[in-house]
């Protein structure tokens, strides 16, 4: 018989949600309740009979509660294999009673760190006895039921009702797996705090990664791939994973990936004039800043309206009705905003499949963090690309210095280029992208593709000339040859911003001078693969 009747339960929880209801249901089923500290007090205040752990062990809680459950009377009752004669004899010889159910959730280490507590307080919120009981009960799941998540209380009550006060082996195995995941995540969170926050390590000797509560996705990048979304345990920036979805179909793997790219770029304009970012396949295809969001939308869309079809739109300020109406004129997969006006919600409501996400405050684009990429047999880990440059960091390397407007366009183009897949070329003029070339094997082709898109836009909208004429062009890495620069000249660019650092810098500078370009070096590159 794989069912185990619950006769004695040990409850010790930091999260009291649902505790009294669970304790009441157990008591009504004739289960003896054993508990500690605040948990015991909460149960007694609800009128339930509770036996103190100290009564079970014969030792009082001591050392400010650090030592209370670390005792053979507790762990013997958890770890004893019931049908092992030697274990049964040891239990009888030492008067150890079996514990059939353990309900534990751990000290709030994550919340303590998140509220900015001091080091001593953080250390005190590292649970020792709790994980020990969880692991003991989970190891002996053949005979003991472990529950670590208040969300599982209802399932436990249903399980007991369906099995005359017992739990099935299938239920215990499922809860044991969840329990070990909980302690692994807890230890991972603590190890990360020690490594990154307490010791200031960039790359600790052991990198513990964790995630909780997977959202199962329909599939991955392709239908034959399975996929899920995990959110990190421990302090983290709010992003697409935490956004509130107001309407539309569930997000796909590709939606999440593209939406994250859009949000990361849009965050560059946090707190600035209204900005619109349009992304397709994780690459921006139109970005603009204007006095109003609607004007920014029109300018961003004009950069590459073909690629914008079926894309992701992200804005840096509250989304208004007029802009929402304009976005609805083309097919859009996802729209992201810090907040959404009622008029905008009404406009999007007519597009039932469009996903509308509200993020609240945009993330800090200069925040710390690690970027992790799996490769065969390992993980590549690097710090987030949080590098930034300002006008005073630029080095003018040509005979002609950029004008004030060219400098603004250089910095705008550079901001966008850092979010474009390498090799990246971005033309910008008057606070809007004019052409974007991404992901090519050489910089010359990226320059030409960006110029081609600008020419197509000019033809579509009936402009006298493409917006690349008189634009600034940004390159995410240095021009290794003058050909990429000359392609920009052909497109009509008048200013260039690039990292510099090539062995052919002098050749490229000479070509810029001959063409009458103004060129600045950043000394920083932004490869994005």
**pLDDT level of residue 196 (50, 70, 90 thresholds):** confident
Exposure b/e, 90-122, CB count within 10 A at least 16 = b: ebeeeebbbbbbbbbbbbebbebbeeeeeeeeb
Q: What is the pTM of this model?
A: 0.86
Is the separation of the CB atoms in 214 and 228 below 8 Å?
A: yes
> Is 139 a residue of the active site?
yes
| pLDDT tens profile 22-50 | 999 999 999 999 988 889 999 999 999 89
d(CA 213, CA 298): 39
- What is the distance in angstroms between the CA of the first residue and the CA of the last residue of the chain? 56
pLDDT bracket for residue 222 (50, 70, 90): very high
Arithmetic mean of pLDDT over the chain: 91
Tell whether the model's pLDDT for residue 389 goes beyond 70. Answer: yes
Task: Please give the average per-residue pLDDT across 423-447, as a whole number.
Answer: 94
Q: What is the mean pLDDT of residues 476-497?
A: 90
pLDDT of res. 120: 92
| pLDDT level of residue 58 (50, 70, 90 thresholds) | low
- Cβ–Cβ under 8 Å, residues 125 and 14: no
Q: What is the pLDDT of residue 1?
A: 53
Q: Band of the pLDDT at 405, cuts 50, 70, 90?
A: very high
Residue 524: Cβ-neighbour burial (10 angstroms; 0-12, 13-18, 19+): middle
Instruction: Between 345 and 68, name the one with better pLDDT.
Output: 345
pLDDT for res 301:
98
Q: 282 and 257 in contact (C-beta within 8 Å)?
A: yes
Flag the least confident range among 77-91, 337-351, 425-439: 77-91
Q: Which one has a higher pLDDT value, 370 or 289? A: 289
Whether 432 contacts 413, CB under 8 Å? no
C-alpha span between 432 and 466 (Å, rounded): 13
Weakest mean pLDDT among 223-232, 293-302, 337-346, 463-472: 223-232
- CB 389 within 8 Å of CB 522: yes
Do the Cβ atoms of 298 and 326 come closer than 8 Å? yes
User: How many Cβ atoms are within 10 Å of 374's Cβ, its own excluded?
Assistant: 8
Q: What is the pLDDT of residue 67?
A: 66
Q: For residue 38, what are the contacts with CB-CB under 8 A and spacing of at least 6?
A: 16
Give the whole-angstrom CA distance, residue 69 versus residue 83.
Answer: 24
Please confirm, yes or no, whether 419 is among the known catalytic residues: no
Which candidate in 178, 281, 351, 408 is catalytic? 281
Most confident of 82-91, 181-190, 282-291, 484-493: 282-291
CA dist 491 and 517 (Å) reads 12
Rounded average pLDDT over 7-11: 93
**Higher pLDDT among residues 53 and 177, named by residue:** 177
- The Cα–Cα gap between 368 and 200 comes to 12
Rounded-to-integer distance, Cα 437 and Cα 410, Å: 16
Highest mean pLDDT among 49-63, 226-240, 427-441, 475-489: 427-441
Sign of CA dihedral 30, 35, 39, 44: positive
Q: Is the model's pLDDT at 59 over the cut of 70? A: no
pLDDT tens digits along 302-340? 999 999 999 999 999 999 999 999 999 999 999 999 999
Among 7-21, 69-83, 148-162, 500-514, where is mean pLDDT lowest? 69-83
Least confident among 57-61, 94-98, 230-234, 345-349: 57-61
The mean pLDDT value for 17-21 works out to 93
* pLDDT above 90 coverage of the chain, percent: 71
Cβ contacts of 100 within 8 Å, gap of 6 or more: 4, 5, 6, 7, 8, 9, 143, 144, 145
- CB of 453 within 8 A of CB of 414? no
DSSP alpha helix (H) spans, 381-504 = 404-417, 443-461, 482-491
Residue 226: phi, psi to the nearest 5?
A: -80, 155
C-alpha 291 chain-centroid distance: 31
Catalytic residue among 139, 249, 351, 408: 139
Bridge partners (DSSP) of residue 8 are 32
235 pLDDT above the threshold of 70: no
* Rounded (5°) CA angle 524-275-428: 50
């Amino acid at each position: 018989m794989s069912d185990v009747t619950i006769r004695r339960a040990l409850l010790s929880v930091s999260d009291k949600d649902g505790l009294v209801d669970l304790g009441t249901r157990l008591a009504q089923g004739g289960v003896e309740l054993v508990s500690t500290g605040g948990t015991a007090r909460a149960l007694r205040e609800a009128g339930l009979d509770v036996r103190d752990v100290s009564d079970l062990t014969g030792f009082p809680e001591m050392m400010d509660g650090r030592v209370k459950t670390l005792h053979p009377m507790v762990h013997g009752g958890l770890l004893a294999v019931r049908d092992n004669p030697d274990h049964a004899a040891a239990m009888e010889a030492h008067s150890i009673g079996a514990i059939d159910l353990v309900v534990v959730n751990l000290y709030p280490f994550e919340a303590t760190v998140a509220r900015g507590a001091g080091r001593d307080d953080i250390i005190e919120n590292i649970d020792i006895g709790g994980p020990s009981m969880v692991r003991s009960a989970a190891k002996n799941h053949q005979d003991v039921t472990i529950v670590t998540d208040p969300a599982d209380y209802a399932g436990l009550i249903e399980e007991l009702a369906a099995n005359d006060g017992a739990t099935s082996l299938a239920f215990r195995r499922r809860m044991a797996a969840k329990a070990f995941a909980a302690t692994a995540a807890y230890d991972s969170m603590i190890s990360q705090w020690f490594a990154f926050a307490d010791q200031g390590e960039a790359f600790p000797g052991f990198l513990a990664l964790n995630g909780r509560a997977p959202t199962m996705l329909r599939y991955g990048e392709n239908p034959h791939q399975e996929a899920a979304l995990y959110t990190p345990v421990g302090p983290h920036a709010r992003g697409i994973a935490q956004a509130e979805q107001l309407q539309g179909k569930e997000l796909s793997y590709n939606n999440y990936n593209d939406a994250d790219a859009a949000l990361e770029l849009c965050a560059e304009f946090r707190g600035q004039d209204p900005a619109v970012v349009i992304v397709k396949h994780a690459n921006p295809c139109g970005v603009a800043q204007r006095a109003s969001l609607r004007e920014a939308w029109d300018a961003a869309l004009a950069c590459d309206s073909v690629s914008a079809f079926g894309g992701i739109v992200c804005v840096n300020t509250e989304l208004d009705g007029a802009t929402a109406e304009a976005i609805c004129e083309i097919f859009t997969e996802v729209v992201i905003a810090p907040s959404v006006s009622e008029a905008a919600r009404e406009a999007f409501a007519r597009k039932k499949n469009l996903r509308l996400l509200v993020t609240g405050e945009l993330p800090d684009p200069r925040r710390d963090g690690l970027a992790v990429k799996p490769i065969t047999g390992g993980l590549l880990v690097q710090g987030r690309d949080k590098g930034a440059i300002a006008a005073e960091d630029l080095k003018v390397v040509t005979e002609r210095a950029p004008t004030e407007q060219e400098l603004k366009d250089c910095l705008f183009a550079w901001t966008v280029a850092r979010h474009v897949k390498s090799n990246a070329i971005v033309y910008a003029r008057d606070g809007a992208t004019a052409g974007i070339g991404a992901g090519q094997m050489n910089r010359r082709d990226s320059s030409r593709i960006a110029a081609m898109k600008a020419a197509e836009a000019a033809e579509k909208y009936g402009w006298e000339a493409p917006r690349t004429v008189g634009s600034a062009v940004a390159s995410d890495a240095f021009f290794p040859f003058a050909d990429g620069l000359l392609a920009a000249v052909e497109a009509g660019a008048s200013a260039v911003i690039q990292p510099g650092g090539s062995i052919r810098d002098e050749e490229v500078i000479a070509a810029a001078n001959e063409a009458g370009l103004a060129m600045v070096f950043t000394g920083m590159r932004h490869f994005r693969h």
